Amino acid sequence: MATSEKPAAKSTKRPARKAPVKKSSGSFIGSLFKGVIATCIALFLCGGFLALFVFALVYSQLPPIDTVVDYKPKVPMRVWTADGKLIAEFGEERRDFVTIDEIPDRVKQAVISAEDDGFYKHSGIEPKGFVRAALANLASGKKSQGASTITMQVARNFFLSSERSYIRKLYEVAMAFKIEANLSKDEILQIYMNQIFLGNRAYGFAAAGRTYYGKNIQQLTVGEAATLAGLPAAPSVYNPFASPKRAKIRRDYVLGRMRDLGYITNEEYEHEVNEPIKTRLTVAAEKVGTPTRMNASLHAEYVAELVRTLMFDIFQQETYTRGLNVYTTINSEDQGYAYRALRSHLQQYDRSQGYRGPEAKVDISNPQTREQNIKNALQEALIATDMPAVVALSVSPTEVKVQMAHGKVVSITGKGLDFVKKALQPKAKEDLKIVPGSVLRIAANKDGSWEITQIPQAEAAFVATKYDTGAIQALVGGYDFALNKFNHVTQAWRQPGSSFKPFIYSAAIEKGFSPQTIINDAPIVLDPAETGFKKWDPKNYSRTFHGPIMMKDALKKSLNLVSIRILQAITPRYAVDFIQRFGFDADKHPPHLSLALGAGSVTPWQMVEGFSVFANLGRRTEPYLISKVTDQSGKVLMQSTAEAEKVAGVEALDPRNAYIMHSMLHGVATGGTAARATAMLKRTDLAGKTGTSNDSFDVWFVGYGGDQCAAVWMGFDQPRTLGRRAQGAGLALPVWIDYMKDAIKNEPNVVRKAPAGVTESNGNLYYTNRKDAIPSLGVDDNSSADDPIGNIIQNTNVRGQIF
């Protein structure tokens, strides 16, 4: 039987819930840490990408680095003598460009030790330096450190400001990478060492070497190199001129770095750190207070300034930045001879006029204001070469104690007081008397001790040329460029006096005169129609008359009345036209009879040019000062053609005329007013002419010997007499002699041969077969009123005529 089963009943019970698992605290922190790490990584990646984007954006905006790749530093113009001595430099920045190969290892090592010891290893930035600088800045709360590598400093110097900001630093880093990608390490270091500012207008280490030590870069010691290497950090703070103590601290730090990096030994380090900071100013200061005779260094300040103005006319502002090298014709030894001769004789003349009294007087009675008053007085005093200003502290007839600008007190006694004896007497006039507080001048005397002196008031000029080319060998435009920058060689238009007579005589020879022409040296009175101004009764300097005299002897004695009669005969108008052959300006020489006595206006420059015609037997050479101009690479930009022109020659005067005039000028130097020249120099080839203008306002000597022609002038800037008996023979000629005795001492005597067409007979010179003669004038004058000159040209063959 089937059975049926009942379905099972559904259970009404709910399933039991699982108890929640309780997480541990460690698991929670781990999850949180992972989240933070993930976030940081994400932020870092985002920041990195952002930084890369910003850096790429900055890099794309960087300026081209052509100025670095094609580096052209601002180099000043330098002026040189013909024998390679530096005269002067002119520029906005003192800089000597040197290649990396020319820089000694010790200097490069000092710079790398001080600024960037990993320079040759990194690629433009130093990560460790950045971290170090960042930590220092965070600690101080200031942007005190920048971690700049040498490459970054190059970037900043060329393209960026010195502002301390993170944006500027970013640009600096980007530019450093760009520079490193385009230049080698040596090229970067070369630029840095030529461009970096090191104080006192010195840019680059070569210029700094000359500025601070007076040395070229190859001569710097390890200690000096370390001192300079310490300057880029703060040129004003570590300046060895202004702050020698700080400079020594910085130097010693650099030396320590050099030792630690193995560039110098410990022994070298110990030796250098024990050396004091000794700059060129330190050396000079040690000499201050010690009397030294006239400065033997090269003094060509007037030459330098003349060159500067000539170059500026051509190159304008590039004159000071293009690195021009201007080579002059100046011979450094001859320049020294001229400088010392001119100053020495000006001082002698000034002393002969007596002491004028103190320059000023200051109150030194109050101890509280005494030092400041002295300081002020010496600061206000004019700066004069080799003549420091001092203030008298105590005064007696046998001793004067004076204080110098640097505070040193010196005692002057004996011969040092000879010049001012009268001013030391109790009864001396008030304006002359020397008392405590008097501002005085002192100089070294022949014995090597101090003497009281004074600055000359008169001025002088000297110029010497190689007369066959015109190349200027020496040029001194005045007593002291520091006192008076007016160049009397080129700018002073003065009356030449009797030194102009040779040109009038030459004109007369052209008209038919000869050295043997007899002219009456007798009184003459000229009316205003002939003089151009007023009635005139000229006199000879000696106030005597010689009667009939040969023209050559009249030139020897420099007789005024003979010269006037000659000019009467040839006419002033003819003379003015004639003298232009020698380079003189017609408008400076009015056509009046006073022209015979040199009443026109000339410069010393013109006078050497004029006399060169006689020295060259008819060829005129224009004085020139610059032989060539190059850029800093040595490329010739300008070159004188004087040597080529010397070969070609420019004839200004008939050689016969020039030879006869040379003979007459030689007579002046052997038996005339300049006979002292031959007596002292013992040469047979000297020729020249003295000159004294009206009332002795100007005195001259112009002459030649050996291979040089030189002109000397002396006078006052505001024309006044040099003295009742002042003459060119007594004041100007000695300067010329002192120069020539050294300048041409090794030159052989020049023998000039008479050119074709000149005949010599019994010591007299004539034009050969000349068919002209000069009638009498002044002696038995029979000329008619219609022909006051007296029929100048006659068809006779008389070799000695009467005037």
Query: Active-site residues: which are they?
Result: 115, 498
Q: What is the SS3 assignment for 274?
A: coil
Q: What are the helix (H) ranges across 474-603?
A: 501-510, 528-531, 551-557, 560-570, 572-579
Helices 560-570 and 501-510: crossing angle in degrees, nearest 10, is 40
Nearest CA to 694 out of 555, 538, 573, 503 is that of 538
Evaluated on CA atoms 671, 674, 676, 681, the torsion sign reads negative
What are 624's strand-pairing partners?
Answer: 471
Helix (H) or strand (E) holding 301: helix 301-315
Q: Is the distance from CB of 124 to CB of 180 less than 8 angstroms?
A: yes
Q: Is the distance from CB of 514 to CB of 508 less than 8 angstroms?
A: no
Helix (H) or strand (E) holding 356: none
How far is it, in rounded angstroms, from Cα 491 to Cα 144?
Answer: 57
How far is it, in rounded angstroms, from Cα 515 to Cα 553?
Answer: 8
Q: What are the helix (H) ranges across 381-479?
A: none
Q: Is the distance from CB of 179 to CB of 155 less than 8 angstroms?
A: yes
Q: Indicate the pairing of strand 325-328 with strand 626-630.
A: antiparallel
Evaluated on CA atoms 24, 29, 35, 37, the torsion sign reads negative
> How many residues in total does the chain contain?
803
Report helix, strand and coil shares of the chain as percent, to nearest 5.
40, 15, 45
Nearest CA to 767 out of 652, 657, 666, 616 is that of 657
With tokens 């009123």, the residue in question is 785
How far is it, in rounded angstroms, from Cα 68 to Cα 159?
Answer: 10
Name the token pair of 135.
């930590």
Q: Is the distance from CB of 620 to CB of 581 less than 8 angstroms?
A: yes
Evaluated on CA atoms 101, 103, 106, 111, the torsion sign reads negative
Evaluated on CA atoms 382, 388, 394, 396, the torsion sign reads negative
Phi and psi angles of residue 296, each rounded to the nearest 5 degrees, phi first: -90, -5
Strand stretches in 82-157, DSSP E: 86-90
Q: What angle do CA 679, 468, 331 make, to 5 degrees?
A: 75
Name the token pair of 122.
């990194």
